[in-house]
């Protein structure tokens, strides 16, 4: 089992051409990320970002000289530290690392990798393992809210084998449950950032009004009907050309301004929705209309790109929106069965458990993922890349 580092790696003082840094690569859900102990990185954010960019090999479209996977879903980092000051087991900072651009964005969280944080916290010794399940309390610094990971444990270690399958990941694994019910207003401080369940917004780039619902649970997201941007809503990733992506991004910009976030904000993430319908997933399997509550396509960026699955935090927000009469999502959704919202996305179906209290408050907003450690070792960073 890893030991929690007690001294920072003195990267700032090092003079070697190549500098060592401990790293763990983990898969969480449909994402993959490089995990660092907070104490191994510089405290200064600018210096930390330089280290992360160098470790990931950015900026470079292939990230050929680093650990990045040249895809938004695999160009991610997680920085883990003790959570005592926040009444949690660990702190967790997520970073979306630019691929061909030199940035490390900590503006929002990654719900897929959050499941891996629970596993990492146990394996790294932050949390004592308890069988058959260990509850890990995570303070996410990006949204400054508490996440709960329920991790299955066997023989004193997080379980890897299991029969839980998620769309977009080969095989099966041990089921990890993540509860985001305490993350309303994560980005803006308000469940409904515009104050309304839906708004008709003029989008200059499209020369038309678009009806949009902006909801903020786990991650601020704006929803609109697929036909309003000229698509079916069931397109595969190879059908999303630049023109379609720019339409999504234009709606996002209008929604960001209406939400008080500013035109250049990465949030709210744009999601197009349509009624349940049969469609083909990325590998040609037929997803049946009766197996989904609705179909959704989510664009991430910058630069704008279609998410090949569906972000977990975005899925929580989407499910919450589906439960709210008056939103665009609720209008296209089939009735919610068994407290489960089933989102049809490019890789399959993403189920979210959603329970509301008598007053309509969110009691549970949870999803299940699988996660495991893929690599542990030392990455070597070019010292020249760390110059400020």
Average pLDDT over residues 335-341: 93
Residue 343 has pLDDT above 90, yes or no: yes
**pLDDT interval class at 229 (50, 70, 90):** very high
**pLDDT interval class at 16 (50, 70, 90):** low
DSSP string, 345-377: ETTEEEEEEEEE-TTS-EEEEEEEE-EEEEEEE
Q: Are residues 41 and 168 in the same domain?
A: yes
User: 89-133: per-residue pLDDT in tens?
Assistant: 999 999 999 999 999 999 888 989 999 999 999 999 999 999 999
- Residues 6+ positions from 231 with CB-CB distance below 8 Å: 244, 272, 297
Cβ neighbour number for residue 27 with a 10 Å cutoff: 22
List the one residue out of 47, 35, 42 whose CA is nearest residue 4.
35
Place of tokens 């090092």: 14
171 in any annotated domain: yes
- Residues 6+ positions from 36 with CB-CB distance below 8 Å: 21, 22, 23, 24, 52, 77, 78, 79, 80
Secondary structure element (H or E) that encloses residue 10, with its range: none
Q: Whole-angstrom Cα distance, residue 85 to residue 67?
A: 31
Amino acid 116: pLDDT: 97
135 in any annotated domain: yes
DSSP string, 259-271: TTS-TT-S-SEEE
Q: Are residues 101 and 143 in the same domain?
A: yes
190 in any annotated domain: no
Residue 6 has pLDDT above 80, yes or no: no
Q: Whole-angstrom Cα distance, residue 268 to residue 270?
A: 6
Count of the separate structural domains present in the chain: 2
Average pLDDT over residues 6-18: 56
208 in any annotated domain: yes
Q: Whole-angstrom Cα distance, residue 130 to residue 148?
A: 15
Q: Are residues 210 and 295 in the same domain?
A: yes
**pLDDT interval class at 384 (50, 70, 90):** confident
**pLDDT interval class at 2 (50, 70, 90):** very low
Q: Whole-angstrom Cα distance, residue 116 to residue 113?
A: 5
Contact assessment for residue 146 and residue 88, using Cβ atoms and an 8 Å cutoff: yes
Q: Are residues 255 and 335 in the same domain?
A: yes
Amino acid 283: pLDDT: 87
187 in any annotated domain: no
As a residue count, the chain comes to 388
Q: Are residues 30 and 88 in the same domain?
A: yes
Ramachandran class of 339: left when φ > 0, alpha when ψ lies in -120 to 50, beta otherwise: left
115 in any annotated domain: yes
Q: Whole-angstrom Cα distance, residue 31 to residue 239?
A: 22
Contact assessment for residue 99 and residue 68, using Cβ atoms and an 8 Å cutoff: yes
Q: Are residues 108 and 46 in the same domain?
A: yes
Contact assessment for residue 77 and residue 33, using Cβ atoms and an 8 Å cutoff: yes
CATH code, 67 = 3.10.310.10
Amino acid 388: pLDDT: 64
Q: Are residues 220 and 312 in the same domain?
A: yes
Q: Are residues 351 and 381 in the same domain?
A: no
The two tokens of residue 207 are 């020369």
Amino acid 355: pLDDT: 87
Residue 303 has pLDDT above 90, yes or no: no
Q: Are residues 53 and 87 in the same domain?
A: yes
What residues make up the domain containing 56? 18-175+371-386
Q: Are residues 230 and 117 in the same domain?
A: no
149 in any annotated domain: yes
Q: Are residues 226 and 277 in the same domain?
A: yes
User: 41-98: per-residue pLDDT in tens?
Assistant: 999 999 999 999 999 999 999 999 999 999 999 999 999 999 999 999 999 999 999 9
> Phi, psi (5° rounding) for residue 258?
-65, -25
pLDDT over 70, % of the chain: 96
Q: Are residues 347 and 376 in the same domain?
A: no
List the one residue out of 194, 201, 213, 191 whose CA is nearest residue 260.
194
Paired sense of beta strands 104-105 and 90-97, if any = antiparallel
């Amino acid at each position: 089992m890893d030991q929690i580092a007690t001294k920072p790696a003195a990267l700032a003082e090092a003079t070697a051409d190549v500098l060592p840094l401990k790293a763990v690569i983990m898969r969480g859900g449909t994402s993959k990320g490089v995990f660092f102990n907070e104490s191994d990185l510089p405290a200064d954010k600018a210096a930390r970002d330089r280290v992360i960019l160098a470790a990931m090999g950015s900026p470079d479209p292939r990230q050929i000289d680093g650990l990045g996977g040249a895809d938004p879903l695999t160009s991610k980092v997680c920085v883990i530290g003790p959570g005592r000051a926040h009444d949690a087991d660990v702190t967790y900072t997520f970073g979306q690392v630019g691929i061909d651009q030199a940035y490390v964005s900590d503006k929002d969280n990654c719900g897929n990798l959050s499941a891996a944080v629970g596993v990492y916290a146990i394996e790294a010794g932050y949390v004592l393992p308890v069988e058959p399940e260990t509850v890990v309390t995570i303070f996410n610094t990006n949204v400054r809210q508490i996440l709960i990971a329920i991790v299955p444990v066997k023989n004193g270690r997080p379980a890897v084998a299991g029969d839980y399958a998620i769309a977009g990941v080969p095989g099966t694994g041990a089921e990890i449950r993540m509860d985001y019910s305490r993350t309303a207003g994560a980005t803006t401080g308000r469940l409904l950032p515009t104050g309304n369940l839906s708004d008709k917004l003029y989008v200059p780039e499209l020369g038309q009004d678009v009806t949009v619902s902006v909801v903020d649970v786990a991650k601020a997201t704006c929803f609109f009907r697929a036909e309003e941007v000229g698509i079916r809503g069931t397109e595969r990733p190879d059908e999303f050309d630049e023109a379609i992506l720019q339409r999504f991004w234009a709606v996002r910009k209008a929604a960001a301004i209406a939400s008080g976030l500013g035109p250049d904000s990465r949030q709210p993430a744009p999601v197009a929705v349509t009624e349940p319908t049969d469609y083909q997933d990325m590998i040609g399997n037929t997803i049946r209309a009766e197996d989904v509550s609705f179909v959704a396509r989510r664009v991430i960026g910058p630069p704008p790109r279609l998410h090949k699955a569906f972000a977990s935090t975005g899925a929580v927000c989407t499910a919450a929106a589906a439960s709210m009469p008056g939103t665009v999502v609720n209008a296209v959704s089939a009735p919610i069965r068994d407290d489960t919202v089933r989102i049809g996305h490019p890789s399959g179906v993403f189920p979210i458990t959603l329970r509301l209290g008598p007053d309509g408050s969110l009691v549970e907003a949870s999803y299940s993922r699988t996660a495991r450690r893929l690599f542990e070792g030392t990455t070597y960073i070019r010292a020249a890349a760390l110059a400020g």
